[in-house]
Amino acid sequence: MTVRRFAAGIDVTAQAARLVVLSQRTRGNEAVRVEYVAVVPLAASAMAGIEIVDRHAVSRALRTLIAGLPRACLNRTLSCAMALPGSATLMSSLPLTHAGATEARSPVAASTLTAMEAAVMSEAERVAGIERHALAVDWFIEDAPHRANTVTIAAAGRQHLEVRIECAAAAGVTLTAIDGEPHAALRAMRHAAALELEPHETYVAVWVGADGVYGWRIEHAVIIADMRYPAPEHHDLADALRDLADGQEIDCALLSGELELLDGVGFTIADLGDVLGCMVLPFQCATLGECAQPVPRELMHEPNFAVAVGLALRGVME
């Protein structure tokens, strides 16, 4: 019997808490279905940078979001994921040889994984400057061409994860995963690109968050290059985007996130298209497919739902 898998993505920013629920049949290649989209504003005092200051305010907002779930979602096993700001996560990489492996083989031997884990934890301690017991660490072997034969490491202070788990628990939600905001947004944009663009088209995905602008150049569904702004190596955002494009012809740019923050760096959507030399498509939930429940039209076209969508996609596709 074919059933549907349901998953929710929760995105908490300084302005609002957002919730997206998606579903997909467990068999076949049916499109993802949008089950629920909602947003609740947050008081300015609830967040201070990447820190959740008022846990009660965040929990209340999450309870309000959950209370609006349609019955079809409440009657299902609903996996929920939440995100960490990009600046809360420290990234590093190691050559496979330094991590205890000679080459990327699949499956990797258990002894090799043990040696790699020790090297990974040492590197995480080094970049974070705190002991490993206070860290939450994730790592994987890269398959992107520009980072082949390396191990990418993500480390975050454990307290950042724990406060989000506590806020969700106070709202009656058990989190099954915590992801990074930029990578969740990227997952949503790549899914939208698979629906809207031709497989051979080269495109740039750009996400605007509270801690900066992130970009990726994708060719034939493979990430070829990435960038973050502000960064010491980039004079301005235009310089960062030109470096990302690297002189290649870009067919399209997908844009998501808090687009009003572009004003803070003196940039517009039109400027983005001019620098990259292509059309710009803002991300929107409406491109994902059918919607099971009536959802306010404006929410279906809001580009700042990319993180929540990317978190929910993780749940329905894993």
Tell me which amino acid residue 1 is. Answer: M
pLDDT band at 294 (very low <50, low <70, confident <90, very high): confident
pLDDT at residue 115 tops 90: no
Tokens (6 digits) for 209 = 């968050």
Tokens of 183: 């990578």
Instruction: Give residue 103's pLDDT.
Output: 53
Cα–Cα distance measured from residue 255 to residue 287, given in angstroms and rounded to the nearest whole number = 13
Using only C-alpha atoms, what is the Rg of the chain? Answer: 20
User: 96-100, 150-154, 201-205 — which is least confidently predicted?
Assistant: 96-100
What SS3 class is residue 2? coil
CA distances from 128 to 89, 107, 122, 154 (A): 9, 29, 10, 10
Q: How far apart are CA 205 and CA 282, in angstroms?
A: 10
Q: Give the pLDDT of residue 111.
A: 56
Which residues are registered as beta bridge partners of 155?
90, 137
Give the pLDDT band (50/70/90) at residue 304.
very high
Q: Which domains does the chain have, with CATH numbers?
A: 4-86+159-184+287-317 (3.30.420.40), 87-158 (3.30.1490), 195-283 (3.30.420.40)
Alpha helices for the chain (secondary structure H): 55-67, 71-74, 110-128, 158-170, 181-196, 237-245, 269-276, 297-300, 306-317
For the stretch 99-112, what's the b/e string if a residue is b when 16 or more beta carbons lie within 10 angstroms of its beta carbon?
bbbeeeeeeeeeeb
pLDDT at 100: 58
pLDDT confidence of 283, banded at 50, 70, 90? very high
Confidence of residue 256 (pLDDT cuts 50, 70, 90): very high
Mean pLDDT of the residues in the chain: 88
**pLDDT higher than threshold 80 for residue 27:** no
**For 271-283, what is the mean pLDDT?**
96
Return the closest-CA partner of residue 237 out of 203, 202, 263, 210.
263
pLDDT tens digits, 176-235: 988 999 999 999 999 999 999 998 999 999 999 988 999 999 999 899 999 999 999 999
- The answer for 128, left when phi > 0, alpha when psi is -120 to 50, beta otherwise, is alpha
Supply the pLDDT for residue 244: 97
What pLDDT is attached to residue 130? 86
Higher pLDDT, 88 or 103: 88
pLDDT tens per residue, range 119-142: 899 998 998 888 888 898 888 887
Q: Is the pTM of this model over 0.85?
A: yes
Q: What is the pLDDT of residue 276?
A: 96
Residue 28's pLDDT is 61
- Percent pLDDT > 90 in the chain is 56
